[in-house]
Structure 1
């Protein structure tokens, strides 16, 4: 076979493998985008007491500018969804369950916005890395408690009236808070 054809085929296979690999990685929250069941790639457990699980969380990065005692930040805080850690039992799930899972991701975005707001308003004076780590830790504690409260008050989407209240509550919070 022609060496050029071999090279082109190899590049095509490499590109397809890279694309497949990229499709399985975490992705960030986007306004107007909704999760679909195809985003849930992990195998569900055999125990069927829980219909689905959304793995989402926050990630941050930053660079400092300014001088000691007056550090300002260039930062990025992102709410991520992790397909390879998220799963569902198709026979137990419907549109309401998917909406419930979407709200878990939306709640992560609300706390990402909270962290962005804190970082945008603060001047850092000491150990910037430790201060940001402390903020991140506190935000994650609040996020976890809020996610637990959401599941409790909606009974994991089984309480339809509770789920509808939370749908409205989270939509309003996303509307009120800036990106």
Structure 2
């Protein structure tokens, strides 16, 4: 019996493409972002005080026997990209940093949703397509949620909306605690 492994890695970013040597911070509930994590030059034309570049790293391997796929493994992580993230130091405070942290937490929420959906899959000949379809759908939902978060909070200006989102995301993360990043 011939067993073969195929490994595929896909990366999604809100801002640009990641290079293999690029510094990343993997989401961890014990490690919160600090302003020193934001290393890119600020974009003075954007009107924003800060920008968080985060995304989902997804990879999988397939175990085959002959031409049949008999098993699969996957890896899904939430990453923050320091070299694509920035802030204006004169305007960045702990409140703004909390808004940016929540962007990263939203990315983690969708990583958990992704893992939950992948866990339900059963190895079959269409597993690659199924995983890729889930990956696309998760990234679309993540992007929509990030944009909704910024729109509703007016990029953190609406304090009541910001508090709502902090509570909402904390509750959603707790519901999917089984799938959290380690």
Establish whether TM, by shorter chain, passes 0.5.
Answer: yes
Check the 8 A contact 1:28/1:80 in 2, yes or no.
yes
* Structure 1 position 75, deviation (Å): 1.1
Which structure is higher in strand share?
2
Look up the SS of the partner of 1:50 in the other structure: coil
Alignment of 1:28-47 (within 5 A): 28-47=26-45
Residues 24-67 of structure 1: per-residue CA shift (max 9 Å, x gap): 60121011210000000000012251110000000111112466
Separation of aligned partners in 2, 1:173 and 1:111 = 10
Could you say which structure has the greater relative contact order, defined with CA pairs below 8 angstroms and 6 or more residues apart?
2
Q: Which structure 2 segments of 5+ residues have no match?
A: 1-20
Structure 1: gaps (5+ residues): 1-22
Shift of the 100–109 alpha-carbon distance from structure 1 to 2, 3 Å rule, reads same
- RMSD over aligned CA atoms reads 1.9
Deviation at 1:117, TM superposition (A): 0.8
Matches within 5 A, 1:18-167: 25-47=23-45, 49-65=47-63, 71-167=70-166
Q: Which has the larger radius of gyration?
A: 1
Bigger share in helix: 1
Normalising by structure 1, report the TM-score: 0.81
Residues matched between the structures, number: 157
Task: Name the CA distance, whole Å, in 2 between partners of 1:44 and 1:60.
Answer: 28
Change (3 A) 1:50 1:25: same
Pick which of 86-95 and 23-32 moved more: 23-32
